[in-house]
Amino acid sequence: MVRLNLTKKKNSGFTLVELVIVILVLGIITAVAAPKMFNTASDARDSATRQSLSVLRGAIEMYRAQNGGYPSASALTTTLLSYLQGPFPAPQAGANQNPEVVASSQNPITSVEPGNEGWVYNNSTGEIRINDGVYISW
C-alpha cells in the first residue's frame, strides 16, 4: 500500500519582516560605530604629526649641540637629514601637509606664516611648529 504524505512542507528561510529588522539593526550599529572610526583616523594623523614634531625638535637641538647654533630655515630640510632616520617628515595634520619650511621671526611663534609650507621655523630660537592655525599651538 502506498502512503501519501498529506502534511504540508514547511518553507525554510527568512521572512521579509525578519530581513527588514536585521537591516535596521545593522544600520543602527553602523550609525553608532562610523563616527568613532572616523575620529580614530583623525587621532592617528594627529599622533603622527606630534611624533614628527617631537623628532624634528630633537634633531634641531642635536644640530645646535654639535654646531653651536641653529640651522637656517632655508636649509633645514637638508641640514637635518643626517639627524633623521628617513626623509624630512611632513605634517599629517593641518591644511599644509608637505615637508617644506617657512622662516618666521616671531618669538614665540603664535601665528601662521603665509604660504603653503607645512612647517614654520624660527632659526634664532630653534622653535618649529605646524604652519596651520588649528595646530600652531603644538
pLDDT tens for each residue of the chain, 138 residues long:
666 666 666 667 889 999 999 999 999 988 888 887 777 888 899 999 999 999 999 999 999 999 999 999 999 999 999 999 999 999 999 999 999 999 999 999 999 999 999 999 999 999 999 999 999 999
How many residues in the chain? 138
100 within some domain = yes
28: its cell numbers: 543602527
pTM over 0.75: no
Largest Cα span, the chain = 110
The whole domain housing 35 covers: 19-130
CA distance 51 to 76: 18
32 within some domain = yes
73 within some domain = yes
Total number of domains constituting the chain: 1
130: its cell numbers: 605646524
1 within some domain = no
